[in-house]
Amino acid sequence: MKLSFVATFALLGLAAALPASNNDAATNKLKAGDTCKPDGSLGICESNKCIKDKDADTGNCQ
């Protein structure tokens, strides 16, 4: 019984220690025409140009 608790906690610890999928915004490259934010929170445009209107929340990659 004690061994099963130890094994359970070991598996939970291993699962928590594994890295998450590599899907963060900093490595997410956006193509021309994709929706973007100048702060890069939706991803980085391949051209590094996110054009938005001054009143809009998001823009489009150029």
Residues 6+ positions from 43 with CB-CB distance below 8 Å: 25, 28, 29, 30, 34, 36
State whether residue 7 is helix, strand or coil. Answer: helix
* Domain layout of the chain by residue ranges: 29-61
pLDDT digits (tens, 9 = 90+) for 21-55: 555 555 789 999 999 998 988 889 999 999 999 89
Work out the burial of residue 25: count CB atoms within 10 Å of its CB; fewer than 13 is exposed, 13-18 middle, 19 or more buried: middle
Taking the model in full, what pTM does it have?
0.53
The answer to whether residue 59 scores a pLDDT higher than 70 is yes
